[in-house]
Amino acid sequence: MYKDFFDIKTSIEEGIKAQEKFLKSYESMISATNDHANQTPREVVFEEDKLKLYHYNKSTRSVNKVPTLIVYALVNTPSMMDIGQDKSFIKKLVDSGLDLYLIEWGFPTADDKYISLDDYINIYIDDVVDHIRKESGADKINILGVCQGGTFSLMYTALHPGKVKNLVTMVTPVDFSTDDGLLFKWGKYLDPDRMVEAYGVVPGDFMNTGFLTLKPLSLMVNKYVDVINDLDDPEHLSSFMTMEKWIFDSPGQAGMAYKEFLNAMYRENRLIKGEMEVGGKKVDLKKITQPVLNLYAERDNQVPNAASIPIGDYVGSEDYTAKSFPTGHIGMFVSRRSQEEVAPTVVDWLKSHSK
């Protein structure tokens, strides 16, 4: 009777197995590498202050003649788009024939406190675009803007329309009036002026705290349970560690640009009201008459669809295409759907519009 109720031998054996699995898991976590990011061959071709411009090595003879520049957000780093060669969004674009460039903004330090939106848009992006035009011999280039980088790209194209041939926006907010996401709710009540007064350069850890709370606790816990159950797959574990590094390794935010962006967008929604000014010049989205491709994620919990879909209502382009994908914000760049649907959509559209 007692043997059936409590088998000491079986209990001890199961305890030993559990301990062995724990030790093996610990060893696997310690030895796991997180070097799965940025493996697509590239080289630095231009530098300015903290900014670095990368040009990816061409991997096919069928290279699109019009170069494409990726403009990423200031929050986090763009390494998320180049994780693992089997699911790298960037590798897919390069292998499909795009002549690809990418801006890495770098990590601001105290002396970058006064970098403004004018600096980012009218100096940094413009200098990069001019370098690409000179290096490639192209009069105009394609721009692919991601998230906040897409908002920057909209403003840049409106201010410098003669240098942009085609514009692609991905998970890009333009209408900040929505309350669909926590970040968009909070943004209206944050006091960026006081934050910048306190920090100068707003720490990346502070930004992480805000973005991580957008995810339900169950999802945050479950991802660790999933990886523990899959520790026998070193490739999966390394990819997981790479993503964890990307999530937590966030740059600080240059104070001036940070408060300008929050005040103008989240608190006052100036861009779609036609009230946005950068460098003393009004940003008129109707001046964007180039072809525009707007891609958004149906399950995006960082940039709500209500913030992305209206792009077509405000640009002046007569060649405007919007397409949604049944995935999340990150899934647009790191997923099977990204490889099979999202990247090919970008490539096919750019090739058809770059002749």
Q: What is the pLDDT of residue 241?
A: 58
Catalytic amino acids?
A: 147
Domain positions in the chain are 37-353
Q: What is the pLDDT of residue 222?
A: 41
Nearest Cα to 249, choosing from 23, 79, 94, 51? 79
What is the average pLDDT value for the chain, to the nearest integer?
84
Q: What is the pLDDT of residue 20?
A: 54
Q: Is the pLDDT of residue 153 over 70?
A: yes
The half-sphere exposure of 220 on its side-chain side, counting CA atoms within 13 A, is 9
- The identity of residue 56, as a single letter, is Y
Band (pLDDT 50/70/90 cuts) for residue 190 is: confident
Q: 130 versus 12: which is more confidently predicted? A: 130
Between CA 141 and CA 135 the distance in angstroms is 11
CATH topology for 37-353 is: Rossmann fold (3.40.50)
Q: Do residues 349 and 292 touch, judged by C-beta distance below 8 A?
A: no
DSSP secondary structure string for all residues of 99-110: -EEEEE-----G
Question: Around Cβ 233, how many Cβ atoms within 10 Å?
Answer: 13
3-state SS string over 62-80? CCCCCCEEEECCCCCCHHH
Question: Around Cβ 275, how many Cβ atoms within 10 Å?
Answer: 12
DSSP secondary structure string for all residues of 270-330: HHHHT--EETTEE--GGG--S-EEEEEETT-SSS-HHHHTTHHHHS--SSEEEEEESS-TG
Q: Lowest-pLDDT range, 112-116, 145-149, 186-190?
A: 186-190
3-class SS at 51? strand
Band (pLDDT 50/70/90 cuts) for residue 228 is: very low
Query: What is the percent of the chain where pLDDT is above 70?
Result: 77
Mean pLDDT of 181-210: 76
Q: What is the pLDDT of residue 84?
A: 79
Query: What is the percent of the chain where pLDDT is above 90?
Result: 59
Q: CA distances (Å), 228 to each of 33, 216, 221, in order?
A: 16, 20, 11
Q: Is the pLDDT of residue 144 over 90?
A: yes
3-class SS at 60? coil
Band (pLDDT 50/70/90 cuts) for residue 96 is: very high
Band (pLDDT 50/70/90 cuts) for residue 217 is: very low
Mean pLDDT of 43-58: 97
Band (pLDDT 50/70/90 cuts) for residue 192 is: confident
The model carries a pTM of 0.83
Q: What is the pLDDT of residue 181?
A: 73
Band (pLDDT 50/70/90 cuts) for residue 212 is: very low
Q: Is the pLDDT of residue 205 over 80?
A: no
